[in-house]
Amino acid sequence: MKAILDCIPCFLQQALDAVRMASDDTRVHERVMHRVLAVVQEMTFQESPPQMGALIHRIIREQVGHPDPYHRAKQYYNSFARKLLPRLRRLRDDSTEPFAMAVRLAVAANIIDFALSARLDEDLVLQSLEQATSQPLAIDRLAALQEAVQRASSILYLADNAGEIVLDLLLVEMLPRGVVTVAVRGAPVINDATTEDALFAGLDKIANIIDNGTDIPGTVIGECSQQLRQLFASADLVISKGQGNYETLSDEQREIYHLLKVKCPLVARDLGCPVGGVVVMRRQGGMVT
């Protein structure tokens, strides 16, 4: 998915929100906005929004002078998610359809996204989780996903955000043991999950963890490590979490199951879903299947 003109004001708003979260120094805010304007001006609209996001967050890290300015905020949401985990695990296990409930909760946790929600707080997360248990899915390929899981002898699970990744456990626990690789970002970028977050979640106890080798808040296959590229090519099943991964993978040829919460009007238009919609989608060769 390529960025469109509507992304321009949004990038600048995201940059402003993000740098304010990372620093209190108004001179830093000004320098970041100035540099982001220059980068946005060079946009060719051949880039996906997360590729532009990567450039913006490189500027923020450089100007703030910290390699991971959202580290504390990521830890906060990791801990928050871990506190919710026992209750949500019971909810899943007591459900008549535990797999479906696990998927719904893992998608609901995709709301923990600093890039798209300056309004993010605990209440918004709780509200998203609450809705997830009953809200009709905007796109519903749950049954197909469940079948694919049963058949798969290798699964690549592309994680998205810190905090969210703790609740991904609810779903990864439902996947066959010994076949799952969870891929995280190769370096900190906004609140995206890195190896540290996967370890905090304890995912290493039930899955293989790899990092994708990039600081793009999505999965641009051509930029990823060879290990990730090989797994992406060979896995029986690829499960992709979140908008960033969707935006960067939507035109890939191979079959991918996308689990995401729709958080921007551009993605909503692309999918024919409302903002806020919960999507469990199968996509192949750029087409919904």
Site residues, a second copy (CB under 8 A):
5-6, 8-10, 12-13, 16, 26, 29-30, 33-34, 37-38, 40-41, 45
Q: Are 106 and 160 a contacting pair, CB within 8 Å?
A: no
Q: Which residue has the tokens 């049954």?
A: 143
* Cβ closest to a second copy, residue 24 vs residue 94: 24
CB atoms within 10 A of CB 287: 9
Two tokens at 264? Answer: 């921007």
Nearer Cβ to a second copy, position 20 or 254? 20
Query: Residue 41 Cβ, how far from a second copy at the closest point, in Å?
Result: 4
Closest separation in Å from C-beta 270 to a second copy: 17
CA dihedral 155, 130, 164, 53 (to 10 degrees): 110
- Closest contact distance (angstroms) between CB of 242 and a second copy is 23
Nearest approach, Cβ of 117 to a second copy (angstroms)?
15
CB 39 to a second copy: min, Å: 10
User: Based on CB atoms, which residue is closest to a second copy, 41 or 253?
Assistant: 41
Q: Output the DSSP codes for 63-130.
A: HHT-S-TTHHHHHHHHHHHHHHHHHHHHHHHHSSSHHHHHHHHHHHGGG--TTT-TT--HHHHHHHHH
Q: Where are the beta strands (DSSP E) in the chain?
A: 139-140, 155-158, 180-184, 208-211, 237-241, 256-261, 278-284, 287-288
Based on CB atoms, which residue is closest to a second copy, 32 or 170? Answer: 32
Q: Which is nearer to a second copy, 29 or 258 (CB)?
A: 29
CB of 192 to a second copy, least distance (A): 22
Residue 33 or 221: the one with the smaller Cβ distance to a second copy is 33
